[in-house]
Amino acid sequence: MRKPPPENASEVYFELTYVGAAVRVAAIDAATGREAVVMGPANAAAADLERLALGKLKAMLARGGD
C-alpha cells in the first residue's frame, strides 16, 4: 500500500522528449511552474531519469529558485 504524500508536497509533472540518442526530462512543479531539466541517454530507464530530475527540482525549490 502506498503512503499518502506529505501535506506540503505538490504535484509534479514529467515531460520526456526524445532527441536522437538522448532524452530530455523536465520535472515541473504544478504549484509554482518551476522546471528542472536533465538530459540522459535514450536507452536509460525513464524512472531513473525522472528521479534525477525530481531531485534537481526539489533542490531548486529548497534554495528558493534559480
pLDDT beyond 70 at 4: no
Q: What angle do CA 66, 41, 65 make, to 5 degrees?
A: 5
Residue 10's pLDDT is what? Answer: 82
Q: What angle do CA 29, 53, 5 make, to 5 degrees?
A: 50
Cβ neighbour number for residue 61 with a 10 Å cutoff: 15
Q: What's the distance, CA 16 to chain centroid? A: 10
**Which tops the pLDDT comparison, 36 or 9?**
36
**Alpha carbons 28 and 1: distance in angstroms, whole number:** 26
Out of 4-8, 11-15, 52-56, pick the least confident: 4-8
Please state whether the predicted TM-score (pTM) of the whole model is above 0.75.
Answer: yes
Sequence ranges of the domains in the chain: 12-62
